[in-house]
Amino acid sequence: MTTTTEFDAIVIGAGFAGMYQLICLRDRLGLKTRVLEAGDGVGGTWYWNRYPGARCDSESHSYQYYFSRELVQEWEWSERYPQQPEILRYLNHVADRFDLRRDIEFNTRVTAARYDAAANRWHVTTAAGEEMSCTWLITAIGCLSSANVPNIPGLADFKGDWYHTGQWPHEGVDFTGKRVGQIGTGSTGIQAVPVIAETAAELTVFQRTANYSVPAHNAPLSPEFKRYVKEHADDIRDTTRRTPNGHPFEIAQRSVWDVSAEEREALYEKAWEKGGLQFRATFQDLLVDKAANDTAAAFLKGKIRSIVKDPATAAALADIDHPYAAKRPPIDSFYFEAFNRPNVHLVDLRSKPIERITANGVKTSGAEYPLDIIVFATGFDAMTGPFMRMDIAGRDGLKLKDAWAAGPRTYLGLQVAGFPNLFTVTGPGSPSVLCNMPVCIEQHVEWITDCIAHLRANNIATIETSDEEAEKWVAHVNDAANATLLPMAGHSWYLGANVPGKPRVFMPYAGGMLRYREICNHVAARNYAGFKFGT
Ligand code: NA7
């Protein structure tokens, strides 16, 4: 590692996005690039989220980089849905294979970044007080990296241990013989419950909002499937680039109303047997027609009631208040089955909310639950949270916090007006969390790289969008969301509703990855329409 503090480009974050951005800028464009990473290793999401049962909900053969044919050929996944340690091994392999570590500064949290217009440089400050500067500043900070520990009164009084799933201790947590309370039943909580239940003496699950879940049917990959992936790598890549959510399966063209009720039930049953996020692809109108969605919702609620033996518990788990997949739909490995174990109990917070945390456990308006360990599976301050914990100031000292006071405003999710030469990989307003992440990351990183190459080739010093363009794009993002049922889950983190006081704005772009890619390509082809160049 050199001691230079002046760079062409600084990339914040060394997860999937930051690592590929380093490869592109350093190895393809020859830029002097530095990556700053808060953790002591690469991996981003997969570095921090080490909770029991942490697993990817995208199928392994689609949850990887496709930019290098050699890399695709040499890596082999072991399971249909890879576990956190395997994904972290993969990302470490990529770091080694492309010799990335020499340009990544670990244990380095960026606290501030300030644009100096006179010098046309970004000045970046780290928690340790280091200062460095660059022309191009790229955030690769993840959409779900700012843990949300709810401000429940009394947490400081709790005598036991508590953990947030997104900041899990590297040495793990031993639940043996312990009374564990888990707050939260999103994708994370649904993965964690069955695994914690195996060793905990008692597991009490505090549910505020009941959730759908479809079985993952995870299993080791067969030698035939592994061979298929290698032989059809290009086809798989092309499929993920063609489908709206970046997954390796097509959405059926039929409508719920094209088939009879019996046929529909049989198709849902088949999709349930296959498992995974593909359930959403059974019909093309599940996310746009509420009555169509109701048929899937009824099927899935029926499954919960058929799995969970205690009728009161089954009723509370199936009492779901939003359309299927309007919130990010979880997939699971024996989540509902876990409630048939004698050591797992459900507490429905809807009628009796948590009042406080006491020295001994969690107190709801109904009872106090004595606990040794509390697990917060309470999600993230999504998409904007990672930006807001840095002090970012653009032209004329404009603070990002102020620019986004009423919610994030970007052009294409790639740039913010008033912040020249700052690019935001998978920023708010891009498909990001509505897409299989490696697919949208590769698209963003390649677009940014091509853009910087274009600017350098044409001696253009700055690129910057305008308020008008951002306003138009935000309106388009809203229209895209409103054309779907997604806004009907009023408490979803897509809307920022899980964090008290956060502006309710639909943040990801719901128009589909294919359409988004075409828009970005079109913008670039029209000499970066919507951006202003400065010399
Ligand atoms: P999510 O999906 O935001 O889930 C968080 C869960 O925690 C959800 O059930 C919340 O209930 C619950 N929660 C949050 N705050 C509280 C309080 N104060 N009291 C009780 N319950 C609370 O986060 P995940 O980590 O599961 O998943 C995030 C994404 O990671 C996932 O969507 C995938 O894309 C990968 P609520 O629904 O808000 O009522």
Question: What is the tens place of the pLDDT at every residue in 322-355?
Answer: 999 999 999 999 999 999 999 999 999 998 999 9
Please, what are the domains in the chain? 4-42+100-144+382-529 (3.50.50.60), 155-376 (no CATH)
Is the distance from the beta carbon of residue 491 to the nearest atom of ligand 1 less than 6 Å? yes
pLDDT in the model for residue 305 = 98
| Residues facing 147 on adjacent strands | 380
pLDDT higher than 50, residue 2: no
Residue located via tokens 């501030």: 112
Q: What is the mean pLDDT of residues 255-264?
A: 98
pLDDT > 90? residue 20: yes
Ligand 1 neighbourhood includes 245 CB (under 6 angstroms): no
Q: What is the pTM of this model?
A: 0.97
pLDDT band at 16 (very low <50, low <70, confident <90, very high): very high
Identify the H or E element spanning 17: helix 16-22
Burial degree of 226 (CB within 10 A; 0-12, 13-18, 19+):
middle
Q: What is the pLDDT of residue 412?
A: 98
Distances (CA, A) of 98 to 21, 28, 40, 46, 95: 12, 12, 18, 19, 6
Whether 1 shows a pLDDT value over 90: the answer reads no
Please name the residue whose Cα sits nearest to atom 12 of ligand 1.
184
For the chain, give the number of residues: 535
- CB distance 377 to ligand 1 below 6 Å: yes
The tens digit of pLDDT for each residue in 476-513 reads 999 999 999 999 998 899 999 999 999 999 999 999 99
Give residue 377 CA to ligand 1 midpoint distance, Å.
6
In sequence order, what E strands does 140-283 have?
A: 161-164, 179-183, 202-207, 214-215
Is residue 3 pLDDT above 80, yes or no? no
Which residue among 204, 498, 502, 507 has the greatest number of ligand 1 atoms within 8 angstroms of its CB, and so is best to mutate?
498
Q: What is the sign, positive or negative, of the torsion defined by CA atoms of 24, 382, 187, 275?
A: negative
In angstroms, the first-to-last Cα distance of the chain is 32
pLDDT mean over 140-168? 97
Give per-residue pLDDT as tens, 389-444: 999 999 999 999 999 999 999 999 999 999 999 999 999 999 999 999 999 999 99
Q: Kindly write down the DSSP assignment for every residue of 48-102, as one continuous string.
A: H---TT-B-SS-GGGSS--S-HHHHHH----BSS-BHHHHHHHHHHHHHHTT-GG
Q: Check if 378 has its Cβ closer than 6 Å to any atom of ligand 1.
A: yes
Number of Cβ within 10 Å of residue 370's Cβ equals 14
* DSSP code at position 419: -
CA distances from residue 233 to 165, 200, 237, 278 in whole angstroms, order as listed: 33, 42, 6, 20
Which tens digits make up the pLDDT trace of 29-79? 999 999 999 999 999 999 999 999 999 999 999 999 999 999 999 999 999
For ligand 1, the distance from its centroid to the CA atom of residue 67, given in whole angstroms, is 33
Please, what's the b/e burial string for 297-320 (b: 16 or more CB within 10 A of its CB; e: otherwise)? bebbbebbeebbeeeebbebbbeb
Q: For residue range 363-373, list pLDDT tens digits in order.
A: 999 999 999 99
480 lines ligand 1 (CB under 6 A): no
- Give pLDDT, residue 4: 67
User: How many Cα atoms sit within 13 Å of 112 on the Cβ side?
Assistant: 14
Q: What is 255-311 written as a DSSP string? A: -GGGS-HHHHHHHHHHHHHH-SGGGGGSSTTTTT-HHHHHHHHHHHHHHHHHH--SH
Tell whether ligand 1 has an atom less than 6 A from the beta carbon of residue 508: no
pLDDT attached to residue 109: 98
Structure tokens at 168: 């899990």
CA distance 268 to 281: 10
Look at residue 490 in the predicted model and tell me its pLDDT.
Answer: 83
Task: Please tell me the distance between residue 188's alpha carbon and the centre of ligand 1 in angstroms.
Answer: 8
Nearest CA to ligand 1 atom 17: 150
Whether the predicted pLDDT of 14 surpasses 70: yes
The whole-number pLDDT of residue 202 equals: 98
Mean pLDDT of the chain: 97
